[in-house]
Amino acid sequence: MTMENRGPLKGIRVIDVSHQAAGPWCTTLLGDMGAEVWKIEKPGRGDAIRHARGADPKVGSFNFWGLNRNKRSVGVDVKHPAGVALLKEMAASADVVVENFRPGVMDRLGIGYEQLRPINPRLIYCAITAFGDKGPMAQNPGMDLILQATGGMMGLTGFPDGPPAKAAGPVADISSGIYAAYAIALALYHRTQTGRGQRIDLTMLDAVISLLADISTAHLNTGYDYEKFGNGHPDLVPYQAFKASDGYFVVACLSNAFFKRLCQGLKREDLLANPNFATNQARCQHRQEVVELLQALFLTNTCEHWITLCSAYDVPSCRVNSLKDLFAMEQLKAIGSVAEWAHPQHGPFRTMNVPIHLSETPGALRIPPPGLGEHTDEVLRLLGKTEQEINQLRTDGVCG
């Protein structure tokens, strides 16, 4: 499948030397917006996430598919001297290099920023690391679970009387990928003004902490040590999930006006006369009393009943969805969140669509998730290699 490329990054070439999730999500976002992405993978093995759930790595797991569209897979062994030379050739004509190895790995291979910059001063080099390239944790291994725990996210997730819990989605990986793509876009804009490339250092630790921007600032300036959030928020009541007779739903009273309307809908205006309920600050101070009263009431009917009531009184409310519930929503169809397209070898499949909507330069799902090394020969020809040279690189185990 090849769709028209109208994205704002059309003409930008990205060399993706990353693996797993954070780096690949960054380059997928760039590819969605029109960039030409060459995903460099070790011949015969590829990105480790290709193997998830026992999948054939030549095809790749659905986990791999979800993180790697709009890019070409190029089998190059960057630990082979000839592979290093090939990477340098690619970098000479590239706009961006993205990698997410531990600090120093790319330098030792001979393809770090300082080695590539003389070849191409316009190159934008983005290094995604767990903890940065300095400090006592610089060489520590880091993946999503480690960063959720280290970055405070896991310690605030779950219920106060229970163990810490990780977020279901890989929030450290995905947020790091988003920030890296954002940084690359900024560096590309800077280059249009100056003609110069630059190095980007993106730490997953910073990305995770930024997701706690409001409460971390409150802690830094007051010293207040938050308990785990449960399914609500420490500064708002009621703003959480409640159990109905047939499942869970959310009531989100972001302001006191919403709570007043909720009381009207419940025919419990008397609660507003109670000083423990009258203001959000008071309700936070008497959280257990408020929550227990509402919970007992909500158990008497269904999610649909309470959501309908809240809607009638303009109180934010929704069902707590399973994945099955989520992907049955008509709203996803209305905004085009799920795309149905076809893989040339493996037939129809569904995936999430491009999440950014631009009216003049829209992104598109142009290239299905690539097979391992599917585009090696195509890319080598673009580099000017002859068929004899390509065959020799394969024979020598450099490419695959």
Is there a contact between 20 and 48 (Cβ–Cβ < 8 Å)?
yes
User: In the 8-state DSSP scheme, what is residue 169?
Assistant: S
Q: Which residues of 88-126 are buried (b: 16+ CB within 10 A; e: fewer)?
A: eebbeebbbbbbbbebebbeebebbbebbbeebeebbbb
Per the listing, tokens 């309307």 go with: 261
Integer distance in angstroms from the first to the last C-alpha of the chain? 23
Q: State how far the Cα of 250 lies from the Cα of 62, in Å rounded to an integer.
A: 31
Q: State how far the Cα of 12 lies from the Cα of 18, in Å rounded to an integer.
A: 18
Which of 16, 173, 206, 225 is catalytic? The answer is 173
Q: Tell me the sheet residues that pair with 233.
A: 236
Q: How far is CA 81 from the centre of its chain?
A: 33
Q: In what order do the strands lie in the sheet with 124-129?
A: 72-75, 36-41, 13-16, 96-99, 124-129, 198-203
User: In the 8-state DSSP scheme, what is residue 98?
Assistant: E
User: In the 8-state DSSP scheme, what is residue 368?
Assistant: P
Q: State how far the Cα of 102 lies from the Cα of 90, in Å rounded to an integer.
A: 22
56 is catalytic: no
Helix count (H) and strand count (E) of the chain? 17, 11
Amino acid in the structure at residue 299: L
Catalytic residues: 173
